[in-house]
Amino acid sequence: MIIGILKEQADNRVALVPKTLKKFNVEQTEFRIEKGAGSLASYPDEKYEKYATVTDREALLKQSDILVTINPIPEKELKLIKKGALLVAIFSPFNNSELITKIKESGLQASSLDMIPRTTIAQTMDILSSMASIAGYRAVLLAAMESPGFFPMMITAAGSIKPSKVLVLGAGVAGLQAIATARRLGAIVEAFDVRAAAQEEVESLGAKFVEVPGAIDKRDAGGYAVEQTAEFIERQQQEVQKRAASSDVIITTAQILGKKAPVLLTKETVDQMKPGTIVIDLAASSGGNCELSEPGKTVIHKGVKIIGNSNLASEMPRDASFFYSNNVASYLKLLIKEGELHLDLNNEIIEKTILIKS
């Protein structure tokens, strides 16, 4: 069984790091890696040499039984891949149906790591949590660097400065990490979420939970939020508006699985915010929580800087790759039995993640 690790095209991370490869049985699994695949993540080829063969991309596409990446392999390369091979990546299948059809037509199999259920048993494979946690941390560091002011309170001979006010919209994995990081830097933090369970977590990190009554909170939605009514969203936007005007930094993370992200920060709200306020929209790629955000771009509106970046994990590539790699390894161990690919659809994790099986 040959497992190929490809170089990402527009991402600093690598899907498997050398330390993880050690955990596999060399008699049954053979790793091959594209030259330079880990270099941007601080894992040079020499570090892989003990556990994997360093080779070129075309050979990997032609020979691998499993190809592991973070982002999907570009469509134009599908025809080069060995028939029946399994592609393991984050496919975001709700937004990528055309690509999934092309993979199927190319006679390949596909498994999407973002579909791993949020259950205790799947925790070691949960790439969404590990990447969100990095994004939340990184978002606060980015905001602190971009902000024209201090995060902590400063009392100096040159004058006193009040701590920054940080507003976090969506207190899931990324939001909680953002709260914890902003608190460590000395900011005053407020957070919103529609899941009642988030309140205790927010408060335990020393932030204030802002409740908007009337949220739909389905406990059977696998830990995810569900879409809210238009009436609720409008009331929530008004509550956000009240707080946004006095905030120095707003980190938005609110998402709904398979749906467009809710708009919580309207243009009207941004109009009323202080110049110099920083907005980091982690939901930019799924529609954005801020009406003015654009994915992959920085927009400045009346002095408010809105950074739409849903790929901040790529900017901390060494540790992001380490987490992703451990998650992928746990997942691969579930699929490989005695050196053979065994896609048992009776297993909930496999059933939820396999998009195409031949």
Q: Comparing C-alpha atoms, which of 250, 195, 251 is closest to residue 220?
A: 195
Which residue number, 161 or 226, has a Cβ lying nearer to ligand NAD? 226
Give yes or no: 204 in active site.
Answer: no
Which residue number, 167 or 173, has a Cβ lying nearer to ligand NAD? 173
Smallest separation, CB 64 to ligand NAD (Å): 30
Give yes or no: 321 in active site.
Answer: no
Site string for ligand NAD, 186-225 (x = CB under 6 A): ------xxxx-xx------------------------xxx
Give yes or no: 57 in active site.
Answer: no
Residue with tokens 């498994």: 111
Residue with tokens 């801020």: 290
| Residue 128 binding ligand NAD, by CB under 6 A | yes
> One of 9, 28, 97, 123 is an active-site residue; which one?
123
The residue range among 32-40, 69-77, 126-134, 148-156 that interacts with ligand NAD, by the rule CB under 6 A, is 126-134
Give yes or no: 129 in active site.
Answer: yes
Site string for ligand NAD, 238-257 (x = CB under 6 A): ---------------xxxxx
Q: How far apart are CA 341 and CA 339, in angstroms?
A: 7
| Residue 85 binding ligand NAD, by CB under 6 A | no
Q: How far apart are CA 312 and CA 178, in angstroms?
A: 12
Q: How far apart are CA 294 and CA 284, in angstroms?
A: 6
| Residue 287 binding ligand NAD, by CB under 6 A | no
| Residue 131 binding ligand NAD, by CB under 6 A | no
- The backbone region for 214, taken as left when phi is positive above 0, alpha when psi lies in -120 to 50, beta otherwise, is left
Smallest separation, CB 58 to ligand NAD (Å): 36
Residue 326: count of CB within 10 angstroms of its CB = 19
Smallest separation, CB 36 to ligand NAD (Å): 32
280 with 252: CB under 8 angstroms?
yes
Q: How far apart are CA 163 and CA 132, in angstroms?
A: 26
Strands 154-156 and 188-192, how do they pair? unpaired
Give yes or no: 43 in active site.
Answer: no
Residue 343: count of CB within 10 angstroms of its CB = 16
Q: How far apart are CA 252 and CA 318, in angstroms?
A: 24
Catalytic residues: 118, 123, 126, 129, 224
Residues in touch with ligand NAD (CB under 6 A): 118-120, 123, 126, 128-129, 132, 169-175, 192-195, 197-198, 223-225, 228, 236, 253-257, 262, 264
